[in-house]
Amino acid sequence: MPINKAWSKDWIAYGYKDPIMASAWVTPPPPRHLIRLYHLTSQKHALDDLRKGRLKISTFSESNDPFELLALWIGDKITREAVRAHKRQLESAMGLLCFSANWSSPPLWSHYADKHRGIGLGFDVPRKNVLAVSYSKSRLQSQAKKILQSSDIDDPLRDLLVCTKFSDWSYEREYRMKVNLNDAVREKRRFFWSFGQELKLMEVILGPLSRSADLPIVKSLVDANYSGVKTYKARLAFQSYGVVPNEKTVL
């Protein structure tokens, strides 16, 4: 299949404000009510996800960021106790599906996809279902004052805490989908969310350091189970510090 450069050059014509996705030359963007988001993981976990048609839910207790739900300034005891109680409550009821707005960042592949040997899964997700993460250099103080006045965390503040992280995490360009753990598929202590119209698989991208022999195996699995999904390999960019599609593998 020839790579369609017009899809990236004419991105504005689609009405998008999102950054151009790294695979814009391979596959067109979704309709405007959807957003293409990416989940990077090891090849082992990605293949399991593809076989079973599901994605693992992240819980707050297992996050690699110890400041999850702790974005507020908690210098006083009242706020500290309210925030900690709120975190305990959400940990037992809510999980997250975590994505990146793009897959071109080398640190993403290093940290989440087995040092560039893993796989990126691209999904079309309704925009209304996801929250963009905000990145802050300092803890939130003005919102903390509300807790001192009401001793309560309302829904807008709850979403703010779910989607605020330290600025050093900004390379992830993260989006999050909140999910109720009671509605999830549970296997022992792990939770999963099934693929479907609200989590529609569109791309499968093998990392630039994955073996060439892995591509036909993964492509065969995808083609047998998911109609119209593009499967290809990435490579390291020649003129920038980025990860891009390997043109030779795009069929």
135-171 pLDDT per residue, tens: 999 998 877 666 655 556 778 888 888 999 999 999 9
Domain encompassing residue 215: 6-249
Report the C-alpha gap between 93 and 59 in whole angstroms. Answer: 9
pLDDT tens digits, 28-46: 889 989 999 999 999 999 9
Q: Is position 137 within any domain?
A: yes
For 109-118, write each residue's pLDDT tens digit. 999 999 999 9
Rounded CA separation 116/125 (Å) = 25
State the average pLDDT over residues 187-198.
94
Q: Token pair of 135, please?
A: 């990145």
Q: How many domains does the chain have?
A: 1
Q: What is the rounded CA–CA span in Å between residue 222 and residue 231?
A: 7
Residue 72 included in any domain: yes
1 part of a folded domain: no
- pTM, to two decimals: 0.89
Contact call for residues 37 and 99 (beta carbons, < 8 A):
yes
Q: Give Cα separations from 28 to 9, 59, 133 (angstroms).
A: 11, 32, 25
11 in a domain, yes or no?
yes
Q: What's the confidence (pLDDT) of residue 145? A: 65
- Considering the domain boundaries, does residue 180 fall inside one? yes
CA angle 230, 232, 238 (to 5 degrees): 130
| The token pair that represents 98 in the structure block | 């975590």
